[in-house]
């Protein structure tokens, strides 16, 4: 992967500048996928009643600003995004990468303002919920309330994996772990389960910011693993050439396959 130039600053544009009609839940292209559990008609009707519009952003746009106090809840329908926090001097830590089906904004509802920002990696589509949707979900459906809790706990487990990498894994182990987990998450959204690779819009800077590595170290480690035949990144796609060897190097817990999950 060639070292990218300095990434352009994300456009500062509030989400409600691009509203559109929300897709009916019954027509959602994600729901038939094996990754997502089947919901009852009543649960779909509840989710549908809380949706207010759809939103489409281009790559490198901001969905939620750090410190924002009025952000609604979102489900990512298509594309990639990431959660991050920044320091006063601009240094950035990517907390997690977001793929289709991820529920966004719950953490902000637990406080007065968003403790992290969310930017898009690619063009992306979102379902936008009314601001009190979290309370309504818990009030009107204990099952869906539990599902939201499950999704929040699952996202926390992904952050825990990243913390383990940053705190204890070597550079090779960090990158091997990230490649496997991201590949398998993306593959679960594809009909071919990743046989033809998966879209991989991350730059080396994104990887470095997620794993606590320098850009130079990230570049050297990616090249080293690719020369060993473990993976390949080509034309914006990621291919795993030796999954077992990568998994041994990463010292993963489990096989890295994402569990079946609810979809809000």
For residue 193, what are its two tokens? 């389960």
Q: For residue 2, what pLDDT band results from cuts at 50, 70 and 90?
A: very low
* Axis-axis angle for helices 133-140, 142-168 (nearest 10): 120
| pLDDT for res 1 | 44
pLDDT score at 28 = 94
Which residues, 6+ apart, have CB-to-CB distance to 63 below 8 Å? 15, 57, 74, 81, 104, 118, 119, 120, 124, 126
Question: Residue 132's pLDDT is what?
Answer: 87
Q: How confident is the model at residue 115 (pLDDT cuts 50, 70, 90)?
A: confident
The predicted-structure confidence for 168-202, as pLDDT tens digits, reads as follows 999 999 999 999 999 999 999 999 999 999 999 99
Query: What pTM, to 2 d.p., does this model score?
Result: 0.88
219-228: per-residue pLDDT in tens? 999 999 999 9
Helix (H, G, I), strand (E, B) or coil at 108: helix
| pLDDT tens readout for residues 137-172 | 999 999 999 999 999 999 989 889 889 999 999 999
Looking at residue 69, its pLDDT comes to: 86
The domains found in the chain, sorted by start residue, are 15-160 (2.60.120.10), 170-250 (1.10.10.10)
Is it the case that residue 108 has pLDDT exceeding 80? no
Spatial distance between the Cα atoms of 67 and 108, rounded to a whole number of angstroms: 9
pLDDT score recorded for residue 17:
43
Supply the pLDDT for residue 255. 81
């Amino acid at each position: 992967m060639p070292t990218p130039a300095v990434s352009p600053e994300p456009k500062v544009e509030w989400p409600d500048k691009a509203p559109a009609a929300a897709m009916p839940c019954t027509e959602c292209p994600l729901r038939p996928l094996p990754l997502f559990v089947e919901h009852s008609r009543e649960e779909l009707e509840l989710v549908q009643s809380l949706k207010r519009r759809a939103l489409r952003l281009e790559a490198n746009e901001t969905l939620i600003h750090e410190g924002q106090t009025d952000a609604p809840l979102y489900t990512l329908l298509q594309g990639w995004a990431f959660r991050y926090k920044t320091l006063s001097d601009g240094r950035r830590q990517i907390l997690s990468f977001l793929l289709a089906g991820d529920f966004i904004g719950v953490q902000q509802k637990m406080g007065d303002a968003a403790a992290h920002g969310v930017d898009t990696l690619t063009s992306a589509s979102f379902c936008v919920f009314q601001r009190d949707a979290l309370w309504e979900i818990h009030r009107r459906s204990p099952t869906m309330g539990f599902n939201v809790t499950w999704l929040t706990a699952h996202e926390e487990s992904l952050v825990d994996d990243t913390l383990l990498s940053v705190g204890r894994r070597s550079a090779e182990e960090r990158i091997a772990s990230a490649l496997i987990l991201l590949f398998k998450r993306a593959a679960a959204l594809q009909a071919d389960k990743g046989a033809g690779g998966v879209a991989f819009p991350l730059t080396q800077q994104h990887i470095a910011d997620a794993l606590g590595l320098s850009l130079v170290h990230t570049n050297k480690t990616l090249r080293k693993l690719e020369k060993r035949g473990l993976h390949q990144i080509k034309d914006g796609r990621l291919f795993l050439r030796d999954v077992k060897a990568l998994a041994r190097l990463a010292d993963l817990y489990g096989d890295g396959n994402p569990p079946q999950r609810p979809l809000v």
